[in-house]
Structure 1
Amino acid sequence: MTSAAAAVDDAQLMTLAGIAYGDPARIAGYLAEATVLDGAWSLGWLPVPPDPPVNFAFAARNMEADVAVVAIRGTYPNPLSPAYWSDASQDSPFGPMSPWPGSGDAKIGGGTAAGLKGLLELTDGSGAALQSFVGSLPPSTTLVVTGHSLGGTLAPVLALILAETFQDRPVAATSYAGMTPGNAAFAALFGPGSRLDGKVRRVYNTLDTVAYGWDAVLQTRGFYDPAPKGGAVVDAFLLATAARLDAGGYDYGAVGTPVPLEGTLRPEQPDCTLIAYMLENLHQHLPDTYLALLGAPPLPFSILFGTIVADKPATELARAETGLPVAYASTA
């Protein structure tokens, strides 16, 4: 698979999106060491993570291909940090929506608007924001925005801002496991006649329930076949969520060309059906699952149950030394 308007395949883009979860101090090393990136990618822009690190992204460049990629991190993977809960609020579809400037009825979710604001406020050590970095690129350089999960939700929104700001630059976006950022009128801003028409792709695992929010919530009823099933508890939650979305008139509409990846269930499941369902949900959503579906190697670090990001050789050591979940643990 190849991303729209750029010579970057999905294995590379998803790897870059996954690297955004890692220790910011190690990102340059991860780019150099990832075999799927062929040593062709270097760090272009690395912001100082805010405290708490609610939103984060970095930019990488492939000079030979004349492409730059902005990779947006998903939800911060440490529930002991306020950043996790702030990101969780950005994941929510509820609450007041934010109008998209100059676009009539187009609106994005309030959480998505907060996430976009957080990304645009990031600056590197010299005070340069993302838009300054993009403006410094050669005019011929194609810009691709990507991200996983919350990063996938934000990817097309950030791409639209950058396309509107830099109207002579080729811009594209590919999201992974992202949720729907705005209403149908907002989705139309990516449709026929728009600058991003045909340049935005939405890649999702068919068994990843997250990717069905928030325009197709009820399509996940009955996951997974034949097991594990969520049962009455999950069914009631989905029905209540869909009813609340309908009553609120949110009218969420998916953005971009859908690219489904056929997911597969893990062969062994715990005895408790509800726990098995929750664990399967987590597995189907993780970056390494997406990388496997794309035929790419796993990330050099682990994201365990949403609480630990650590270099794989150091994961157990990091947990043992602290006795608590840790984020951004590293052997370096």
Structure 2
Amino acid sequence: MSSLNIHQQVFGLSLASNLLTVSKGTEAELQSELDSTLQPIIANNIGNWNVVWGPRVWKTAPSDPNSGPDRVWYIAHNPSASFVDGIYDAYVLAVAGTANNSTENLVIDAYVNEVVDFNDWVQTGITNPPEQAATVDQAKPYIAYGTASGISTLLTVPSPAGQTIIEFLATIPPTSRLVFTGHSLGGALSPTVALALLRAGLLKNAPGNVFAYPTAGPSPGNGPFAALFAQNFPLITDGPAAYQMWNGNLANTKDIVPHAWNIESLKAIPTLYGTLPFLLNVIVVAIVNGAIDLANASGLVYVPLQGQTFPTPALDTPQTLQSFLETALQEHMGAYESFIAAPSILPSHEPASSTEQARGLPILGGIYQAHREAKEMERLEKEGK
């Protein structure tokens, strides 16, 4: 039996979906790499969980050797998982976050200016491609088009064995527990795909045995969508620590990513780590204002999903773009691992630089680009002397 509690195990399975986050290769090469590494890492670090669907690596350009995975997801099974209220046969569907070298992830992370009518999509069939809403009715639930596009892949692309997750989930016993989890981009996709499957009537073990465990997720939709999620997935707390819950997004109060895409939360980002130096503040404010413009263009008011937060110790105020990125990345990744006391599961490859991990993340992607441009200007100035 694992010494980790069930929440630590689920978060560990979520981390394991990100093994390829800094990898490059064709879809076949990345698939082969994950096939050989995922199960041993789970067995050695998390406990009695076995991969029973997938893993699946998917790329929009499967033959491109110079980009990373666009989507990674898998399902693991434990016949005797220990929950607070007893031992259960359990399945976990883990969805990876943003990969460093994925252009497609850049698009879906920031594609919030167009939206999808969530109820209409569910009613017409969630295996159909999502369609952008022509108009917005503020009383109805909507999700970002990028989020809808992301979960469409999860629902329709089969495993290497030829079975979709919808087909697999239809085979599990109704008494089994099923958890949807993911970090960052996965923290938006996992609860949304759980709600889509539930509302479409495709989860026969709902509602009492289906849970969502997103972490560090940006807001996937508007207020009515957040309310619909809360109605179908009531928040459950079953321990003293903030991470010991189900059906809510776990967010570090100093993590920038969960501040997207609610306008008031976005406005708080420039002062999140103290009063920034003038030029750094100008850059961060400009990038945040660009994010606010994107969110406003949707016609929605994005509202975070229910959940719980945790604080981290006071930080030194960043003085440069690089130190801002390094601080933000620590708050987005390392802080969660420390708080949850999860197993350390590192990517298969080291990133070219610590700041490269910011590429594709909401807000941080823009700051990363500004950092790159500043470094290039410094290089050109030196060469010109």
The TM-score, its normalising length taken from structure 2, stands at: 0.68
Gaps of at least 5 residues in structure 2 are 20-32, 63-68, 82-88, 123-138, 236-245, 358-385
1:24 correspondence with 2:63: no
8 Å Cα contact 1:47-1:122 kept in structure 2: no
Q: Which amino acid in 1 is paired with 2:43?
A: A
Counterpart for residue 342 of structure 2: 296
1:196 aligns with 2:233: yes
Distance (Å, rounded) in 2 between the aligned partners of 1:118 and 1:107: 18
Match of 1:275 in 2: 322
Residue 248 to residue 163, structure 1, CA distance change in 2 (3 Å): closer
1:77 matched to 2:85 = no
For residues 68 and 8 of structure 1, what CA distance do their matches in structure 2 show? 15
**1: CA distance, partners of 2:54 / 2:5:** 20
Could you tell me how far apart the structure 2 residues matched to 1:278 and 1:154 are?
A: 24
Aligned to 1:40: 48
| In 2: Cα distance, 1:233 partner to 1:300 partner | 31
Residues 182, 215 of structure 2: 8 Å contact kept: yes
Report the AA paired with residue 328 of structure 2.
N
Runs of 4+ residues over 4 Å off in structure 1: 226-230
Question: Which residue number in structure 2 is paired with residue 214 of structure 1?
Answer: 261
Tell me the distance in 2 between the aligned counterparts of 1:211 and 1:130.
27
| Secondary structure at the counterpart of residue 56 of structure 1 | strand
Is 1:124 paired with 2:163? no
Q: CA deviation at 1:263?
A: 2.1
Instruction: State the AA in 2 paired with 1:98.
Output: V
CA distances 1:125-183 after superposition (whole Å, capped 9, x unpaired): 22111111211111101111000110011111011122232244321101111110011
CA distance in 2, matches of 1:96, 1:112: 10
The equivalent of 1:183 in structure 2 is 222
What is the rounded CA distance, in whole Å, between the counterparts of 2:216 and 2:355 in structure 1? 15
1:254 CA drift (Å): 1.2
Q: What is the aligned counterpart of 2:7 among 10, 24, 35?
A: 10
Alignment check: 8 A CA contact 1:149 1:177 kept: yes
Report the Cα distance in structure 1 between the residues aligned to 2:5 and 2:90, rounded to whole angstroms: 8
TM-score between both structures, scaled by the size of structure 1? 0.78
What percent identity do the matched residue pairs reach?
A: 26
Change (3 A) 1:155 1:87: same
Instruction: For 1:122-271, list aligned pairs within 5 A.
Output: 122-164=157-199, 165-169=202-206, 170-191=209-230, 194-198=231-235, 200-215=247-262, 216-225=265-274, 230-246=280-296, 248-256=298-306, 258-264=307-313
CA shift in 2, pair 1:116/1:146, >3 Å = same
Structure number with bigger Rg: 2
Per-residue deviation, 1:240: 4.0
Structure 1 residues 211 and 125: CA distance shift in structure 2, 3 A? same
Contact 1:41 1:62 in 2 (8 A): yes
Aligned with 2:80 (options 64, 72, 87): 64
Which structure 1 residue ranges, 5 or more long, are not aligned? 1-6, 79-83, 309-332
Determine if contact 2:113/2:294 at 8 Å carries over to the other structure: no
Shift in Å at residue 227 of structure 1?
A: 6.7
1:214-236: CA deviation from partner (whole Å, max 9, x where unpaired): 11211223121377894121123
* Deviations 1:47-97, CA, capped at 9 Å, x for gaps: 44223431121111111121111000011222xxxxx11011111143320
Q: Matches of 2:251 and 2:185 in 1, distance apart?
A: 13
Which stretch of structure 1 is more off in the superposition, 238-247 or 174-183?
A: 238-247
Contact 2:115 2:298 in 1 (8 A): no
Measured on the aligned residues, the alpha-carbon RMSD in Å equals: 2.6
Matches of 1:306 and 1:171 in 2, distance apart? 36
CA shift in 2, pair 1:306/1:158, >3 Å: farther
Mapped partners of 1:67, 1:306: distance in 2: 37
Amino acid at match of 1:18: L
User: Any idea what SS the aligned residue of 1:136 has?
Assistant: coil
Q: Name the CA distance, whole Å, in 2 between partners of 1:266 and 1:245.
A: 29
Q: 1:252 and 1:275 mapped to 2: Cα distance?
A: 29
Distance 2:76 2:42 in 1: 8
Corresponding residue pairs, total: 288
The answer (yes or no) to whether the contact 2:255–2:328 under 8 Å persists in 1 is: yes
Residue 284 in structure 1 maps to residue 323 in structure 2: no
Change (3 A) 1:280 1:59: same
1-structure distance, mates of 2:140, 2:94: 29
Q: Is the 8 A contact 2:90 2:177 kept in 1?
A: yes
